[in-house]
Chains A and B, each alone.
Chain A
């Protein structure tokens, strides 16, 4: 095990930048900005935060490639792409946060957001169980804080508490699972674990360990039946936090767990490409995927609250992403990353629009979006792009994400096995999903605004990030090879 600290430092420069940035934000606010209004403090903090994020992106792109620190971290294409992705999504969430002028403790908010980002980037590169767990916890704890941040609303506190309890439980499961793995294989490095597992026959204990890991994965991904926290958290948390949870956290979580499952546990993967199904973690993932799609889509149908609708939509998308995880083994990680990244942009963007609308009133019920086309054409247009991308309408990125995941999943075995049937289920449910997405768009683009609702002026930073996100969705939808060619 070669412990090259220089390389490690070089590789972790983005994290360093983020932490330094967070500390700078905190420090500056504590000392120089005490007397200013909340809005001004927010502006400065957001500006500094954005700077830190840009720096981190640049550093991540120019960092070293390959394993670092003896295989504890790995900076392959997947990792670097995810790092850049989560940092951009955090930028998007920051733009969303910058709209909320009345929030208290703005600098702390931005700082915790940067910490969460640091956790995400570390999750992307982890190739060792403990580092992975550490990164996950760093991110999760930051997210719990961000969720419960709004002291003015009891829903926020409730959401934070729920998230914390669920997350804590999931973390416990994960740690226990990891310890079992260590016990069975004697290593915490993923490649070595795989090597050991390929020689051992799978036993009951291994299955237990896998199940536990999958429980944590399911929680992180908001997949059924571990999804129960998602609707309340998405509804109660401050909008920017929800944005971060929906976008960056999902991307980082999928990257980490895909790496754990495929790099570490591929010998006991099993298969669902044909009947009969061979045992392993893939059948379990397939079952979770199917359940998530059903719960997510049918749950969303009944929603009146736009945030809860987005939560259930997140659950449904997790189902499809899990299909992408299954296909990763044979067809690479391209479709999965593409889908997760573009889903993040769309979801984050949608929350961004909600945040702007909320700044001038309230935005909880779907009907609060009524008449958006008249109140702010920019917001209406951006929302249309984000929602249609979520629905999977070409030429937007969401469509191609679904398409490529379905294509690679079908290549596993056609319609002969459960994976094929899951694809058919996913396609069918996406037709169903269009209904509730159109309900949202109907309010925004068709209905007349409520009498009390006036024009919305979108702050420049938010406008830029939302427009950039929309453009990115269209661009990536038209030229997916921009991302696919990375893999």
Chain B
């Protein structure tokens, strides 16, 4: 358990090492990256396996004074929620490295930025001090720009800039809110628990606006409607591994921030904004789904589907009871894995070989005959994305629906409509992209064999598929980590009723 902070250190060390050896040997850089990702993931899995929940709160890993003049401590702690997301990060990182095995241009730098991003993300999930949280959150921003701008595809400079500026703007809002809360609370400490304590005394107006700032800042990164427009553009522009990470893990940073910082610190403020959050979550689910239904670019469909699935996470958070929030965290994990799979197929397996993402072009290629492994993986990933039982999305959505019924039945009904829309666009994209028929009237499409799926891709895909099926069949593995964490005193102010 106390090895958990090493996930952060290993990632950053791996980044520097990869940078150093990359010039001489891309292969060595890949090896370093894989070793780093696997080791960190192994530590995370081991810690999750051995974890014993503490009813009082997160288990402290590292805690010593850092900047005493401002009450800032280097304080890392983990509870079931952090562990779930740390395991997800490790999985996404490993799969991402495997799917980036074919990066030839500036390989060392690629993995350096990649691992730096991963290190920042690990840090966010393990921080127990608001300043430290924010530092890691911002560290994760800059590598994204370079990953997209250097190795991306469509419209990469615009996509990279938009993504980074939105993320930074979101974090600016969070900074404003946190600093305000810190100053108003007497400026003693940045520890999240202490800030929550101090916030009890804030006036209603203060709570409302502090919550608005912090939640909005995090929600931008989580892709909440209507601040989601950076997500499809950015994800499409990004190279495969970056899209996997961005949609799979980085968007979860925003939701995690909402859950860990915004909601427990300002419960009164949360209650004020709760109806609006419900609306925005539901609109996000349905609207993004409808947009996905009419997209002509393969990757845009997946990009919008990510926004739609994150809407479910926000819905669960908005319902604010133990059941719904545990479903939201499970959905964070589930969607992280599924988004990774979808982007891996679209970006790495299909685009790198066919050099097109236009559905109209893919329709004519009958890819299920030429890339059967990719077709199977994509069908399974699509089923998972639809919320088909047997995959991880189903228990997550069921739990969120149960929790939402308790607070806002109307939102649950609209969410069910969202499930239908998700099925529609997922099935459409599966159908058109892989199972299209070559138009018999046109001249024969180039049926030259496509490069076979490499071992690295197969390993990555099986890893992710295995994860989603495992959690789909045994969601208790994660739910038993998540629920006790939500029943600690820290969350009680904002979560109503512990029984469910």
A-to-B contact residues, CB < 8 Å: 334, 373, 377, 388, 393-395, 399-400, 403-404, 406-407, 410-411, 414-415, 420, 423-424, 427-428, 430-431, 434-435, 438, 441-442, 445-446, 479-481, 484-485
Contacts and interface: CB of A to CB of B under 8 A. Distances in A.
B46 interface: no
B449 interface: no
Contact of B168 (A414, A420, A434): A434
B118 to A, nearest CB: 16
A435 B161 contact: yes
B26 to A, nearest CB: 16
Interface stretch (B62-70, B289-297, B435-443): B62-70
A484 B164 contact: no
A484 B69 contact: yes
Contacts of A430: 172
Given A406-B175, A481-B66, A393 B139 contact: yes
B175 A434 contact: no
B374 interface: no
Interface stretch (B76-84, B182-190, B327-335, B360-368): B182-190
Contacts of B149: 442, 446
Contacts of B69: 334, 481, 484-485
Given A388-B142, A481-B66, A481-B69, A438 B161 contact: yes
A441 B146 CA distance: 9
B398 interface: no
Given A395-B135, A445-B150, 7 more contacts: A373-B109, A393-B141, A404-B70, A427-B175, A430-B172, A431-B165, A441-B146
23 contacts: A377-B23, A393-B138, A394-B135, A395-B135, A395-B139, A399-B138, A407-B179, A420-B180, A423-B176, A427-B172, A428-B172, A431-B165, A431-B172, A434-B164, A441-B145, A441-B146, A445-B146, A446-B149, A479-B66, A480-B67, A481-B66, A484-B67, A484-B69
Contacts of A394: 134-136, 138-139
A406 B179 contact: yes
B80 to A, nearest CB: 27
B179 A423 contact: yes
A410 to B, nearest CB: 4
A394 B133 CA distance: 11
B183 A410 contact: yes
B169 interface: yes
B194 interface: no
A393 B142 contact: yes
A481 B68 contact: yes
A415 B157 CA distance: 36
A402 B134 CA distance: 13
Contacts of B131: 403
Nearest to A430: B172
Nearest to B131: A403
A299 B451 CA distance: 51
Contacts of B70: 404, 407, 484
Nearest to A413: B183
B220 to A, nearest CB: 11
B263 to A, nearest CB: 21
B180 A415 contact: yes
Contacts of B141: 393
Contacts of B187: 407, 411
Given A407-B179, A427-B175, A431-B169, A438 B184 contact: no
Contact of A442 (B68, B157, B184): B157
Return the 10 tightest CB-CB contacts between A and B, nearest first: A410-B183, A394-B135, A431-B172, A411-B183, A431-B169, A484-B69, A446-B149, A427-B172, A394-B138, A431-B168
Contacts of B67: 400, 480-481, 484
A278 to B, nearest CB: 20
Nearest to B187: A411
Nearest to B149: A446
Contacts of A445: 146, 150
Contacts of A407: 70, 179, 182-183, 187
Interface in B174-231: 175-176, 179-180, 182-184, 187, 206, 209
B165 A435 contact: yes
Nearest to A374: B106
Contacts of A400: 67
B384 to A, nearest CB: 35
Interface in B137-162: 138-139, 141-142, 145-146, 149-150, 157, 161
Contacts of B161: 435, 438
A35 B135 CA distance: 55
Contact of B164 (A410, A420, A438, A480): A438
Nearest to B146: A445
Nearest to A435: B165
Contacts of A399: 135, 138
A422 to B, nearest CB: 12
Contacts of A388: 142
B479 to A, nearest CB: 34
A423 B187 CA distance: 16
B108 to A, nearest CB: 10
Contact of A446 (B23, B135, B146, B180): B146
Question: Which residue, of B68, B70, B206, has the highest number of chain A Cβ atoms within 10 A?
Answer: B70
Contacts of A411: 183, 187
B129 to A, nearest CB: 13
A84 to B, nearest CB: 19
Contacts of B134: 394
A294 B165 CA distance: 18
Interface in B94-119: 109
Contacts of B68: 481
A74 to B, nearest CB: 23
Contacts of A434: 164-165, 168
A364 to B, nearest CB: 22
B110 to A, nearest CB: 12
A318 B428 CA distance: 55
A415 B178 CA distance: 12
A99 B181 CA distance: 48
B240 to A, nearest CB: 18
A415 B183 CA distance: 10
B203 to A, nearest CB: 10
A445 B176 CA distance: 30
Nearest to B113: A445
Contact of B184 (A403, A414, A427, A446): A414
B176 A424 contact: yes
A480 B66 CA distance: 9
Nearest to B23: A377
Nearest to B206: A414
B170 to A, nearest CB: 9
A370 to B, nearest CB: 13
A45 B363 CA distance: 72
Given A393-B142, A399-B138, A407-B183, A427 B164 contact: no
Nearest to A388: B142
Interface in B41-65: none
A311 B157 CA distance: 25
B174 to A, nearest CB: 10
A479 B209 CA distance: 32
Contacts of B180: 410, 414-415, 420
A407 to B, nearest CB: 6
Contacts of A431: 165, 168-169, 172
Contacts of B136: 394
Question: Which residue, of A410, A423, A479, has the highest number of chain B Cβ atoms within 10 A?
Answer: A410
Contacts of A414: 180, 183-184, 206
A442 B161 CA distance: 10
B36 to A, nearest CB: 19
A374 to B, nearest CB: 9
Nearest to B66: A481
